[in-house]
């Protein structure tokens, strides 16, 4: 059963999570810990030549909490539990998100199908920042 995936943020986050598709295996560890349900697993389409799965972040819902990268440690236990075993997720300043889209990797069919949508979402996030020169007047 799916549930609605909408989150209204009070203010845009300074950083957003970005997944390097070439490193992601689709293990879904990040999906399990995301408090706002902004991570989806992308299934390969019928034209894909491999069985690789990977995840993708919806930046319209991401709050920049970093829980998809590591869980916070308790003061009594300094060990930090890394969530992504493949080090495929990084935090990117929201203003740099449009440039980060070009580096997310992935098979050519994925880039051809999803890149325009990801670029538009990244531009929206960068433009929503306070003081953005791209914001209307």
Residues 6 or more apart whose CB falls under 8 angstroms from that of 4 comprise none
pTM (2 decimals)?
0.78
pLDDT tens across the length of the chain (137 residues): 344 445 556 778 889 999 998 899 889 999 999 999 999 988 766 555 556 688 999 999 999 999 999 877 776 666 667 888 889 999 999 999 999 988 888 877 777 888 888 999 999 888 888 876 544 43
**Does the structural domain 15-127 have CATH classification 3.40.30.10?**
no
Q: Is 135 left (phi over 0), alpha (psi -120 to 50) or beta?
A: beta
Calpha distance 42→53 (Å, rounded) = 6
């Amino acid at each position: 059963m799916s549930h609605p995936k909408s989150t209204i943020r009070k203010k845009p986050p300074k950083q957003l999570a970005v997944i390097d598709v070439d490193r992601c295996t689709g293990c879904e560890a990040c999906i399990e810990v995301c408090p706002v349900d902004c991570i989806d697993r992308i299934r390969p389409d019928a034209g894909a030549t491999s069985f690789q799965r990977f995840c993708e972040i919806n930046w319209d819902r991401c709050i920049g909490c970093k829980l998809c990268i590591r869980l916070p440690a308790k003061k009594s236990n300094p060990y930090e539990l890394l969530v992504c075993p493949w080090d495929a997720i990084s935090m990117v300043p929201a203003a740099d998100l449009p440039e980060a889209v070009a580096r997310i990797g992935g098979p050519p069919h994925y880039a051809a199908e999803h890149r325009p949508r990801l670029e538009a979402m990244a531009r929206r996030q960068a433009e929503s920042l306070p003081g953005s020169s791209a914001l209307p007047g």
